[in-house]
Amino acid sequence: MTLSNVVWTCGLLALLHLQGSSSKVALQAPRFRQPREGRTGELELTDGSETFEVVQEGLPLCQQILATYSFANSYGVPYVGSYAPPSCDFNRVTWNLTVTSNGTQYDRLGTVWLGDIEVLHTSTAEPSGGAISWIYLKACLETAQEQRIIFDLGNSITATNTAAYNITLTVTHYAEANASAPADLIIPISKRLSSQDLPSAFSTPGDDATNIFWWSNVLSSDVNALPDYGELYGYSPFREVQLFIDGSLAGVAWPFPIVFTGAEDEIDITPWLPLLCDRNSHTFSLKVAGLANGNGTVGVSGTVGSYWLLSGKIFIWYDEKGHFTNGTVPQINAPALDVRITTTGPGGSGDTVKLYYQVNVQRELEVTSTVKTSNGSQPRV
């Protein structure tokens, strides 16, 4: 999955957010502000046991409903709407996703996009015959431009799976004193399909969902260890999302299972600015790796099977006008993964067959350079 032919405007700082291919794009993206951690205040998120407040108390708020929709037979049919920023003064945005469902249904994956940039990656609950509801809040991107909203949540109604997912998506705008400076530009790493009213995630080949419970997959050497149960899913319970810049490993993120609220990982690519600011085209690639073992060896796998959805976004802060950011070429220290595996079985008695395995992985990755900005030279790691 590759974003190629990107020409950079020089910056002071660059961060890549993953929410996790080949397409040529020009550097023409809407100006967004970066997400920010929640603060105490009036808006609340509850998981049934605790309450968390995410907006500073006493701030004036202005709200608008972006979408009210029922996802029934919705595979390949996302909700498409529009967002227009309000006239009130704001520098922070919080999104509220409220979902209700009544009946029986599988858990479903959902993504929300502003144009070609993914702003929410989530999973539903798995209702089992009764009514259920939940609320999810997220400090999110701020944009001063009108944008297309695409909410993709594939669902299917059958005689057995009777439940639709009824959503209300609300956005709250507010102004916070002493707020940190927003990014000047965000570049999406995605398929850029919003002009076709489609979500823009990359996906690994196939649709047989061999990675839906990747954190419980077995070692590749054990996929046939329980023949009575058929072939098991392999490549171990370890996954690593890798970022390559011009073919060199630039950063990694170790994902966690998506349960309700999803996850987002951040990679600081500031040490790469001296390279990225040379006014040439550069390629960003994302890869999902696992472990492959056999014949007494273990290493990073070239594939993990299917099915992964990935996207990213690059946050850029500009340097002072008239200054050209430069510096030293990034130096990469990336020793091989340190992998330790323990496995026992299969064994057991009667109808119970057990396979035990433990995987411990350690990774070192260091990228260093000196970045010369309008404030002088700064070592970056």
Please give the backbone phi and psi of residue 344, each rounded to the nearest 5 degrees, phi first: -140, 135
Assigned token pair, 327: 């510096």
Rg (CA), the chain: 23
Closest listed residue to residue 77, CA positions, set 191, 14, 172, 157? 157
Q: Measured between alpha carbons, how far is 11 from 287 in angstroms, rounded to an integer?
A: 25
How would residue 33 be classed by pLDDT, with cut points 50, 70 and 90? Answer: very low
Show Cβ contacts of residue 327 under 8 Å, excluding neighbours closer than 6 positions.
Answer: 273, 274, 369, 370, 371, 372, 377
What is the three-class DSSP state of 271? helix
Instruction: Give the pLDDT confidence score for residue 7 in this predicted structure.
Output: 44
Q: Measured between alpha carbons, how far is 63 from 147 in angstroms, rounded to an integer?
A: 17
Q: Across the chain, what does the average pLDDT equal? A: 80
**371 close to 325: Cβ distance less than 8 angstroms:** yes
Assigned token pair, 82: 């529009």
Percent of the chain with pLDDT over 70: 78
Closest listed residue to residue 327, CA positions, set 364, 381, 282, 268? 381
Interval 194-221: pLDDT, tens? 999 999 998 876 656 677 788 888 888 8
How would residue 57 be classed by pLDDT, with cut points 50, 70 and 90? Answer: low
How would residue 149 be classed by pLDDT, with cut points 50, 70 and 90? Answer: very high
Question: Which range among 115-119, 126-130, 148-152, 297-301 shows the weakest confidence by mean pLDDT?
Answer: 297-301
Return the domain boundaries, the chain. Answer: 32-183, 204-304+324-380
Instruction: Give the pLDDT confidence score for residue 229 in this predicted structure.
Output: 78
pTM: 0.79
Element housing 171 (H / E) = strand 165-174
Closest listed residue to residue 77, CA positions, set 153, 19, 130? 153
| Angle made by CA atoms 215, 218, 224, in degrees to the nearest 5 | 150
Instruction: Give the pLDDT confidence score for residue 176 in this predicted structure.
Output: 80
Q: Measured between alpha carbons, how far is 8 from 282 in angstroms, rounded to an integer?
A: 8
Instruction: Give the pLDDT confidence score for residue 66 in this predicted structure.
Output: 93
Closest listed residue to residue 19, CA positions, set 83, 106, 112? 112
Q: Could you give the C-alpha distances from 5 to 15, 28, 189, 194, in angstroms and in order?
A: 18, 12, 12, 20
Assigned token pair, 39: 């603060």
Question: Which range among 127-131, 340-344, 349-353 shows the weakest confidence by mean pLDDT?
Answer: 349-353
Beta-carbon count within 10 A of 375 CB? 11
- Does pLDDT of 9 surpass 50? no
Query: Taking the domain 32-183, which CATH number applies?
Result: 2.60.120
**309 close to 202: Cβ distance less than 8 angstroms:** yes
Query: Exposed, middle or buried: residue 271 (CB in 10 Å: 0-12, 13-18, 19+)?
Result: buried
